[in-house]
């Protein structure tokens, strides 16, 4: 939910005012998603807001301006009010808006991965999928409270995620669980089949519900019994004889400077330190592959409206492309995590191999744009949306498996830095350059002279041909790099990659175990 209202500006140029009224009347969700949790799901784009760029029209926007908060509020709200009045280019507003989501993402993602280490691929897919629909959820909540009045939108987007975060802050924690059976998923699936085979009447449903409630509360008996034993143990230890501590202390361990261990990483799958993870060859390989693969999909999605305009598609068709990209991005996030987990568990394929396949699949969408295939933008939007959604759960899971979970939060965001780097290089430096160059060429051919600050409009397949040829070459390079990572991790993935996390028991020794160790 917090990620759904986040909005990160990508450049310093001021856009026009947003118009959210059409969405609230049509009940339509139209998103332009970027495939990174640090730059995704801008709520204004989900609302179908139109932004204008003085040089390249119909491009990404910056922010919303809501009704100013009242001066009677506390100093924090007064500060937010001043930030909103100064507009989207205020550095303080940009800093807060760009980094606010990292707190909630770190707390939820890292905790979920550590609680479910044996199903981290599925967990990452579901978590990123929830982020995709969070903007749509908060939009519907706003409409339920305020209807078509958009004047309170910014204020609503500020307090709702904050209240929800405080409401559930006590439930998001790392829980140590005992050994989990590897066949419990199969048992669950069998129960689902039996549910479809048999039907019950009202009495049967009532009895089954009563049985479920009985089984649900039955473990409370064990809890009460354990608490009773602990009370007895505490009362006996109060009168026990004091323990004699041996005066002989073990020799202190030799401290190793941090810079010596930074370039000596452990085996793949062990817990890397932060510096070992950041300076490892595997992280560098994964970062290069991510920049090359994600940069192209991000550029495609970020310029989807402008590509449709240049190719001569009507505005309604462009809206369909945006919707297709959003829908398939969500489907990619949900289904890819489950599919990866099944293939890795059953066939022991290295997970980076799927990263190679996703990057190669995204190249097909880039080819359709480069050659301006008739009606190819439909297929390209579907392919790009699916790849943008499927690639990030894959990358985050690879980081957790290769570098361990002890310091997972830092490599997690270090890997996410690949998206803005790739987007800047391929979108701003490559696509923007060739678009402006072709637009100036068309303007010169028509006999008009371009003036600095004047909007540039390019029509035809030549506007994005050269830039997407470059994106295809970069994507193929990223596929080769990710294939190198797949070869390096093949031995690791052929073993039991979750043995260390899944088979570890809670840090509590039972009475029987204490007796055996004596």
Question: Which regions of 455-497 does DSSP assign to beta strands (E)?
Answer: none
What's the confidence (pLDDT) of residue 18?
Answer: 37
**CA-closest candidate to residue 92, choices 112, 133, 132, 63:** 63
Question: Does 230 have pLDDT greater than 50?
Answer: yes
Question: Does 379 have pLDDT greater than 90?
Answer: yes
What's the confidence (pLDDT) of residue 467?
Answer: 95
Tokens 């943008």 found at = 388
What's the confidence (pLDDT) of residue 297?
Answer: 94
Give me the helices (H) in 304-375, please: 304-310, 315-347, 351-370
Q: Are 370 and 160 in contact (CB under 8 A)?
A: no
Question: Does 25 have pLDDT greater than 50?
Answer: no
Beta bridge partners of 47: 30
Percent of the chain exceeding pLDDT 90 equals 26
What's the confidence (pLDDT) of residue 240?
Answer: 53
Sign, CA torsion 377/378/383/385: positive
Please give the Cα distance from 189 to 183 (Å, whole number). Answer: 10
Residue count (the chain)? 518
What's the confidence (pLDDT) of residue 1?
Answer: 55
**CA-closest candidate to residue 387, choices 430, 412, 356:** 356
Q: Are 109 and 125 in contact (CB under 8 A)?
A: no
Tokens 């690949």 found at = 418
For residue 470 the two structure tokens come to 């470059």
What's the confidence (pLDDT) of residue 3?
Answer: 56
What homologous superfamily is domain 274-501 in, according to CATH? MFS general substrate transporter like domains (1.20.1250.20)
Least-confidence region, from 173-177, 217-221, 377-381: 173-177
Question: Does 422 have pLDDT greater than 70?
Answer: yes
Max mean pLDDT range (134-138, 228-232, 393-397): 393-397
Report pLDDT digits (tens) over 86-100: 554 567 766 676 667
Q: What are residue 127's phi and psi, to 5 degrees?
A: -65, -45
- C-alpha distances out from residue 145 to 139, 148, 352, Å: 10, 9, 45
Least-confidence region, from 24-28, 106-110, 419-423: 24-28
Question: Does 80 have pLDDT greater than 70?
Answer: no
- 246 pLDDT band, cuts 50/70/90, is low
What's the confidence (pLDDT) of residue 209?
Answer: 82
For residue 231 the two structure tokens come to 């009370």
What's the confidence (pLDDT) of residue 180?
Answer: 54
Calculate the dihedral angle through the C-alpha atoms of 107, 112, 114, 119, rounding to the nearest 10 degrees: -160
Name every residue whose Cβ is closer than 8 Å to that of residue 367 and which is 6 or more positions away in sequence: 468, 472
What's the confidence (pLDDT) of residue 438?
Answer: 92
Q: Output 481 or 238, whichever has higher pLDDT.
A: 481
For residue 461 the two structure tokens come to 């397949």
**CA-closest candidate to residue 105, choices 402, 421, 396:** 396
Calculate the dihedral angle through the C-alpha atoms of 469, 473, 476, 478, rounding to the nearest 10 degrees: -120
Mean pLDDT (whole number) for 413-420? 86
Mean pLDDT (whole number) for 7-32? 36
Average pLDDT, the chain: 75
What's the confidence (pLDDT) of residue 323?
Answer: 80
Max mean pLDDT range (37-41, 175-179, 194-198, 379-383): 379-383
| C-alpha angle 314-316-322 in degrees, rounded to nearest 5 | 110
Least-confidence region, from 78-82, 109-113, 324-328: 78-82
Q: Are 278 and 481 in contact (CB under 8 A)?
A: no
Question: Does 308 have pLDDT greater than 80?
Answer: yes
Write down the domain spans for the chain.
Answer: 3-167, 274-501
- C-alpha distances out from residue 505 to 138, 322, 512, Å: 40, 47, 15
Question: Does 4 have pLDDT greater than 60?
Answer: no
What's the confidence (pLDDT) of residue 358?
Answer: 95
Q: Output 22 or 388, whichever has higher pLDDT.
A: 388
Of all helices (H) and strands (E), which one includes residue 233? helix 219-237
What's the confidence (pLDDT) of residue 303?
Answer: 92
Count CA atoms within 13 Å of residue 198 on its CB side.
Answer: 10
What's the predicted TM-score (pTM) here? 0.65
Mean pLDDT (whole number) for 354-359? 95
SS (H, E, C) 138-179: HHHHHHHHHCCCCCCHHHHHHHHHHHHHHHCCCCCCCCCCCC
Of all helices (H) and strands (E), which one includes residue 32? none
Please give the Cα distance from 263 to 310 (Å, whole number). Answer: 49
- 281 pLDDT band, cuts 50/70/90, is very high
Q: Output 150 or 472, whichever has higher pLDDT.
A: 472
What's the confidence (pLDDT) of residue 90?
Answer: 63
Count CA atoms within 13 Å of residue 225 on its CB side.
Answer: 5
What's the confidence (pLDDT) of residue 290?
Answer: 94
- 151 pLDDT band, cuts 50/70/90, is confident
Tokens 């305020």 found at = 146
Name every residue whose Cβ is closer than 8 Å to that of residue 487 and which is 6 or more positions away in sequence: 350
What's the confidence (pLDDT) of residue 143?
Answer: 81
What's the confidence (pLDDT) of residue 460?
Answer: 92
Q: What are residue 371's phi and psi, to 5 degrees?
A: -95, 0
Beta bridge partners of 30: 47
Each as own residue / partner, the long-range contacts of residues 427-431 (CB below 8 Å, 24 or more positions apart, any chain) are 427/295, 427/298, 427/299, 427/302, 427/303, 428/11, 430/299, 430/467, 430/470, 430/471, 431/299, 431/303, 431/464, 431/467, 431/468, 431/471
């Amino acid at each position: 939910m917090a990620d759904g209202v986040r909005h990160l500006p990508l450049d310093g140029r001021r856009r026009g005012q947003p118009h959210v009224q059409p969405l609230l009347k049509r009940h339509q969700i139209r998103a332009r998603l970027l495939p990174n949790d640090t730059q995704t799901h801008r709520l204004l784009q989900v609302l179908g807001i139109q932004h204008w760029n003085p040089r390249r029209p119909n491009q990404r926007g910056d922010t919303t301006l809501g009704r100013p908060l009242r001066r009677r509020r506390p100093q924090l709200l007064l500060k937010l009010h001043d930030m909103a009045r100064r507009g989207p280019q205020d550095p303080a507003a940009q800093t807060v808006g760009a980094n606010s989501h990292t707190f909630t993402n770190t707390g939820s993602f890292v905790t979920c991965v550590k609680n479910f280490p044996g199903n981290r691929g599925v967990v990452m897919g579901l978590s990123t999928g929830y982020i995709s629909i969070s903007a749509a959820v908060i939009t519907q909540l706003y409409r339920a409270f305020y209807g078509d009045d958009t004047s309170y939108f910014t204020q609503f987007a500020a307090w709702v995620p904050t209240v929800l975060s405080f409401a559930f802050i006590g439930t998001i924690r790392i829980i140590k669980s005992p050994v989990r059976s590897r066949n419990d998923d199969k048992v669950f699936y069998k129960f689902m089949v039996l549910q479809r085979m048999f039907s019950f009447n009202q009495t049967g449903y009532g009895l089954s519900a009563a049985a479920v409630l009985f089984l649900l509360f039955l473990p409370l008996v064990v809890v009460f019994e354990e608490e009773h034993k602990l009370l007895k143990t505490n009362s006996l230890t109060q009168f026990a004889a004091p323990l004699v501590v041996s005066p002989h202390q073990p020799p202190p361990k030799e401290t190793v400077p941090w810079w010596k261990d930074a370039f000596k990483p452990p085996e793949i799958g062990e817990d890397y330190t932060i510096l070992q993870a950041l300076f490892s060859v595997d992280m560098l390989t994964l970062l290069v592959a991510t920049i090359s693969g994600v940069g192209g999909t991000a550029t495609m999605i970020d310029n989807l409206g402008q590509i449709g305009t240049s190719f001569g598609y009507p505005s309604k068709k462009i809206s369909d492309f945006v919707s297709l990209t959003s829908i398939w991005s969500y489907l990619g996030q949900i289904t890819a995590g489950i599919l990866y987990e099944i293939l890795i568990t059953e066939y022991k394929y290295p997970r980076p191999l799927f990263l190679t396949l996703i990057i190669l699949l995204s190249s097909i969408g880039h080819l359709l744009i480069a050659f301006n295939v008739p009606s190819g933008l439909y297929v390209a939007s579907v392919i790009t949306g699916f790849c943008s959604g499927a690639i990030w759960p894959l990358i985050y899971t690879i980081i957790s498996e290769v570098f361990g979970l002890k310091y997972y939060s830092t490599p997690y965001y270090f890997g996410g830095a690949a998206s803005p780097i790739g987007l800047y290089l391929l979108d701003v430096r490559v696509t923007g350059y060739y678009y402006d160059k072709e637009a100036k060429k068309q303007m010169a051919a028509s006999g008009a002279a371009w003036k600095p600050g004047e909007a540039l409009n390019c029509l035809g397949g030549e506007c994005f041909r050269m830039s997407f040829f470059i994106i295809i070459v970069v994507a193929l390079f990223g596929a080769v790099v990710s294939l190198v990572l797949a070869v390096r991790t093949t031995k690791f993935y052929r073993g039991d990659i979750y043995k260390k996390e899944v088979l570890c028991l809670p840090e509590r020794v039972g009475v029987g175990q204490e007796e055996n160790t004596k």
